[in-house]
Structure 1
Amino acid sequence: MSKLVVLILAAGNASRMGFPKQLLKWKNTNLLQHAINSVTHIENDGIFLVLGANYEKIISQINPYNLHVLKNDAWKQGLGSSISFGVQEISKCHPEINEVLVMLADQPLIDAYFLNALINKHNESKNEITCTLYKYQKLGVPAIFNKSYFEELSQLNGDKGAKKILEKYSDRVTFIDGSHVISDIDSKEDYEVLFKNHH
């Protein structure tokens, strides 16, 4: 039977924001806790959270209950290093796990409904990777990777993250359309517009 762990990536510094992006207000909490709350409403066999920059400040503002919180001291190396670090820890702690769902903390329109749709698509498909289709036909996270990709995920580094693997194995990828819910928050302006439109 398939066993799936969720890996939430929230280690970045968000230097352009001048404030830990993970703690920006969203609904009745903050962006990171909102992402954690969404994951608790899907069936999973564990939730791993990778923090890095502003670790102490962020950990004090979330509920770590039922989370495996990891601190990536190499967070400056980019998203790839956090994926690598997270997957290595998952493999160590849970060798029986055969799938990982990788997601970001700054995509607040991604909810349990979308994540469940992604999981259902993955379960129906014979492909080993199921990801999210962005605008302009780009593929990205949230994405589910079969265990056969754990080795490559654990060797990632730099800022490209999992996109490198999605591009390399594009012929083995299934996706669901997420263009309506993908709104990365890269600046204060992005956040303000998104917040205004969804509150």
Structure 2
Amino acid sequence: MIEARLGVAILAAGQSRRFGETDKLTARLHDRMLGEHVARTLRGRDFSMAAVICASDAHPCAAVWRECDFDIAVNPDAEQGMGTSVAMAAGLAMEASCDKLLVALADMPMVPEGFYSALILTADSPASIAISAIGDTRMPPAVFGSDHFPALTQLHGDKGARDLLAQGEICPCPPEWLIDVDTPETLAALETGVRSPS
């Protein structure tokens, strides 16, 4: 059996508007910058393409991302919304002839490696989509089969891949794994609560 070519993109180009003046990915969580955790969780896998989509290759987390074997892909349209980063990720996956693409968010530090593995296994064909969800809200991390790459490359603005996520198969998980850090209060709660899996 031929092993599927897997791509991964960590989206890290958000504007952190709800976090205040600070770039939230540089805030500390369990003695590391928030932006380090997902890359450290995913390091060591045999990815055919691995990139962090960010607004600048001079980001304070860039050295750690590279140490974890992620390329830095600068999104010049980052201010236009997450859709532009997803589009860039899909384009990179197509260039690398990937069979499926894992899209993860840099501000979701609590997702364990095993759940990423479950998503990857669930997306078992070019037409597959495997997604995360809290209740009726579908969200990344998600894995898209290659049939969906052309549609993903057309995304723009803040809409992201919402329409495609609506078609995906949900992988069950505890909602606390899917906490995204949008505010200092959320970060503080994580710092004093459950330890990060990375």
TM-score normalised by L of structure 1: 0.86
Distance 2:57 2:15 in 1: 10
One-letter amino acid matched to 2:26: L
Distance 2:47 2:58 in 1: 27
Root mean square deviation of aligned Cα? 2.0
Match of 1:40 in 2: 43
Asked whether the 8 Å contact 1:31–1:108 carries over to 2, the reply is yes
SS at match of 2:171: strand
Match of 1:194 in 2: 190
Distance 1:130 1:109 in 2: 18
Asked whether the 8 Å contact 2:101–2:143 carries over to 1, the reply is yes
Task: Using the TM superposition, give the Cα deviation of residue 61 of structure 1 relative to its aligned residue in structure 2, in angstroms.
Answer: 5.3
TM-score normalised by L of structure 2: 0.87
User: What are the Cα deviations for residues 84-137 of structure 1, in whole angstroms up to 9, with x where unaligned?
Assistant: 122213322x1x2110000100111112121112223333x8961111122x32
Q: Tell me whether 1:64 sits opposite 2:66 in the alignment.
A: yes
SS at match of 1:116: helix
Change in 2 beyond 3 A, CA 1:7/1:180: same
- Identical positions, percent: 24
Distance 1:126 1:87 in 2: 13
Q: 1:183 is matched with which residue: 176, 179, 186?
A: 179
Distance 1:89 1:10 in 2: 15
Structure 1 runs (4+) greater than 3 angstroms displaced? none
Change in 2 beyond 3 A, CA 1:50/1:157: same
Q: 2:76 is matched with which residue: 73, 96, 114?
A: 73
Match of 1:10 in 2: 12
Runs (5+) with no aligned partner, structure 1: none
Q: Tell me whether 1:50 sits opposite 2:53 in the alignment.
A: yes
Aligned residues: 190
